[in-house]
Amino acid sequence: MKTYVVGNWKLNFNVGEASIYLHKLQKKLPTYRDVEVVIAPPIVALQPLSLQIDRHKMKLAAQNAFYQDYGAYTGETSFNQLRGLTDYVIVGHSERRYIFGEDDKMVGKKVAAAVRNKITPILCVGETENERAFLETTDILRDQVLSGLRDVSEEDISKVIIAYEPVWAISSVREARIASPDEVAEAVRIIREVLKDMYGPKAAENTAILYGGSVNPSNAGAYLTIPGVNGVMFAASSLILSEFLDIIEVAKRVRL
């Protein structure tokens, strides 16, 4: 299985800035066979970057999309419209859930729409600080995984990636704290148990699970060496060229 390094640029870089950054990144980035480098730029930059990107070195992800393929949905972008532009799409990020009010039902529809349109969804799941304090982590993760994958068949689960992103560890959250490897390992174990119940042991073992939450060059190695963690997703360090490259290099060393 590949090791994934996913940089979520969130609401940063205009089209020109994104193009310049990608040029610099590609110039310094070797081609790795076992490490899948993915960047998720703002939606306005996806089309021009799709013409610029060297897909042997990295892939594109959308940060979000709408679950209907077409219709009267002003301001939305469908997964169908993203076909050919992007290989991945982030679905159910905590900022979509808690700022924009996307519930588990909508997240499930988006995962299904991504698979239907042959785009790999990166399904984000994770608990808040209060939910963890009240010992609800297992229930939250189970509910989010069950809901997110409710329309994904046993045949299609291989086309889905899951990212564990505890809300309390995301750097944009006030007073965010760093998740320990033990906390991440336990959450990943819970997620794989849910997958096992849904699809069986082989699918549970073969589904890629990423960790996201204040990942940087100094802690990426600790997360990438956790059993069952197949990659990392991060925002702040993906905006700094040297840090992004350092994390990619860490991922490559872990693969050796």
Pairing of strands 3-8, 231-234: parallel
Residue 76 tokens, joined: 């939305």
User: Rounded distance, CA 39 to CA 48, Å?
Assistant: 14
Q: Kindly state the helix (H) or strand (E) to which residue 38 belongs, with its residue range.
A: strand 35-40
User: Rounded distance, CA 32 to CA 41, Å?
Assistant: 21
In the Cβ-directed half-sphere of 33, how many Cα atoms lie within 13 Å? Answer: 1
Q: Name which of 218, 229, 233, 217 is nearest 255 in CA terms.
A: 229
Q: Which residues pair with 212 in a beta bridge?
A: 233
Asked whether 61 and 89 are in contact (CB, 8 A), the reply is yes
User: Rounded distance, CA 76 to CA 74, Å?
Assistant: 6
- Choosing from 93, 95, 102, 127, the catalytic residue is 93
The answer to whether 23 is a known catalytic residue is no
- Choosing from 36, 102, 127, 165, the catalytic residue is 165
Asked whether 4 and 231 are in contact (CB, 8 A), the reply is yes
Q: Which residues pair with 124 in a beta bridge?
A: 163
Query: Catalytic residues, which ones?
Result: 93, 165
